[in-house]
Amino acid sequence: MTGPAPRHLIAFALALGLSAGGSSAIAQAEPALPTVELSAEASRRAANDLATATAYVEASDANPARLAQQVNEVIAAALAQTRHYPDVKTRSSAVHTWPVYGKEGRKIEGWRMRSEIALESRDMDALAELLGKLQTTLAVAQLTMQPAPETARRSADEAAVDAIRAFEGRAKALAGTLGKRHRIRHLAVNYGGTPGPIRPMMRMAASAAEAAPAPMEAGDSEVTVTVNGTIELID
């Protein structure tokens, strides 16, 4: 009389069955399609319609309290002047104070302080006029013209459409050369940055600054979008 099969024999039989079924499924699977990696890019021009500037005062004094009062008074007067230009956004920026050492570098002989204000505007004429007036007491560290966020975004979206069309055209041409059709397997759209030109501004003499607005030429920036992807070649 035959009794039930031992458990280890049943497990071995099941393992054989699963292995055979898996091999059959692998054998029936379709071979992987050949793939090709491609890239394409496109650029659009974006108007530099946003200007930012940094104005600062820097002074030295042996008395740190007197130095702080002197610098703060200059900044306060400058901020009061900016209130006459509502189209220019103004805010207090960095403040730095550091010791000034003597010849031997051991003893502190005085203090130096720098205080900055940041300005931003889409009205170039208003900002230029304001900077001209501020330069009677302040120096301008830099002036940057760049596209406003919405302007850069609009140009980037247009460039992305151009880049995707270029990618599709390149993929179609390559597949056609090989006598095949294609389909997109993976696609990545990379938006590049849009750095604006930075123009250093030297401090002007008070008499000249009172009469002349700071020179500005906005121009435009190039917004570039790159598309990277993989296509599958189909018979």
Chain segment 133-156, per-residue pLDDT in tens: 999 999 998 889 999 999 999 999
59 and 122 co-located in one domain = yes
Reported as half-sphere exposure (CB side, CA atoms, 13 A), residue 176 has a value of 6
183 and 202 co-located in one domain = no
Is residue 196 within 8 Å of residue 145, measured between CB atoms? yes
110 and 206 co-located in one domain = yes
95 and 207 co-located in one domain = yes
Per the structure, how many domains does the chain have? 2
Residue 10: pLDDT band (50, 70, 90) is: very low
- Tell me the whole-structure pTM to 2 decimals: 0.69
Q: Mean pLDDT for the chain?
A: 84
Domain that holds residue 157: 35-45+152-191+227-234
Q: Is position 160 within any domain?
A: yes
Distances 66 to 22, 96, 100, 110 between C-alpha atoms, Å: 86, 15, 15, 11
What does the DSSP 8-state code read for residue 203?
P
Q: Is position 29 within any domain?
A: no
Q: Is position 60 within any domain?
A: yes
Q: Is position 165 within any domain?
A: yes
pLDDT score recorded for residue 212: 62
The full length of the chain comes to: 235
110 and 209 co-located in one domain = yes
141 and 66 co-located in one domain = yes
